[in-house]
């Protein structure tokens, strides 16, 4: 799965197991991909090596929340039903052209 933004194509990996959800992008450096956390409305950046962008999506993949360049050691909670919300973590500033209200299309190629 891919997300194209800022004229760059980012591979998006799905955090679909307990271990993938637990680790996420923790400890990663030079991040050049994103992670999708389905049915999730909060994340943390403890033990991160660099800042990231965070996008909150509703059940229609509409952006309902965005935080650019989120530093390490922070907690983000989106006030929305976690069963209808997903979160995408991206490299810092990857979401600079994405606006709240945009519907994201995640392409298979």
Domain that holds residue 8: 2-91
Domain-embedded: residue 108:
no
pLDDT at position 104: 93
Domain-embedded: residue 107:
no
Residue ranges of the chain with per-residue pLDDT less than 50: none
Domain-embedded: residue 47:
yes
Rounded CA-CA distance 42/3 in Å is 21
Domain-embedded: residue 16:
yes
Domain-embedded: residue 80:
yes
Domain-embedded: residue 37:
yes
State the total domains in the chain.
1
pTM of the model: 0.90
H helix or E strand, kind and range, residue 70: strand 63-70
With tokens 């090596």, the residue in question is 49
Q: Half-sphere exposure of 77 toward its Cβ, with a 13 Å CA cutoff?
A: 2
Domain-embedded: residue 53:
yes
Domain-embedded: residue 105:
no
CATH number, domain containing residue 60: 2.60.120.1140
Distances from the Cα of 96 to the Cαs of 19, 55, 56, in angstroms? 29, 11, 14
Per-residue pLDDT reduced to its tens digit, 44-55:
999 999 999 999
Rounded CA-CA distance 5/24 in Å is 21
């Amino acid at each position: 799965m891919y997300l194209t933004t800022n004229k760059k194509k980012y591979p998006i990996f799905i955090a679909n197991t307990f271990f993938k959800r637990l680790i996420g992008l923790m400890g990663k450096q030079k991040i050049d991909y994103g992670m999708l956390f389905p049915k999730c409305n909060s994340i943390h950046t403890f033990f991160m090596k660099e800042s990231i962008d965070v996008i909150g999506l509703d059940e229609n993949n509409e952006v309902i929340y965005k935080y650019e360049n989120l530093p390490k050691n922070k907690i983000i909670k989106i006030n929305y039903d976690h069963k209808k919300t997903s979160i995408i973590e991206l490299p810092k500033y990857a979401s600079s052209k994405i606006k709240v209200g945009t519907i994201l299309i995640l392409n298979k190629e």
